[in-house]
């Protein structure tokens, strides 16, 4: 089994990005994910302007885990000052 790392993950429509609504549709089927991966890590920032923190926390709850919080990482973009992601690397090694 492998490792799944989700960064700023969500399964709900995003108010800031309505163009993604068609991809989400009526929801995302999460059944079986926990059984198909050996390790699951969900990460979010405390100041993401694109994905509200409650949406990533909602995804984490649906997957029966909690999100690791990376303070001040925004949406994990280079423009947010994020050019490496050691937390993700730590999750897979």
CATH code for position 29: 3.40.50.1820
CA distance 24 to 20: 7
pLDDT at position 75 over 80: yes
Torsions phi, psi for 61 (to 5 deg): -60, -40
Find the Cα–Cα–Cα–Cα dihedral 88, 19, 29, 54, rounded to 10°: 60
Instruction: Determine the structural domain holding residue 11 and report its residue range.
Output: 2-92
The predicted structure's pLDDT at residue 93: 84
Distance CA 41, CA 35 (A): 14
Q: How many domains does the structure of the chain reveal? A: 1
Check if the beta carbon of residue 59 is closer than 8 Å to that of residue 42.
yes
Q: Does the pLDDT of residue 5 top 90, yes or no? A: yes
């Amino acid at each position: 089994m492998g490792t799944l790392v989700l960064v700023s993950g969500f399964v709900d429509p995003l108010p800031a990005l309505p163009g993604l609504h068609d991809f989400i549709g009526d929801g995302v089927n999460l059944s079986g994910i926990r059984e198909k991966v050996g390790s699951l890590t969900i990460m979010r920032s405390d100041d993401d302007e694109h994905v509200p923190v409650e949406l990533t926390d909602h995804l984490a709850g649906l997957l029966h885990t909690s999100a690791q919080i990376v303070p001040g990482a925004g949406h994990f973009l280079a423009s947010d000052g994020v050019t490496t992601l050691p937390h993700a690397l730590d999750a897979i090694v």
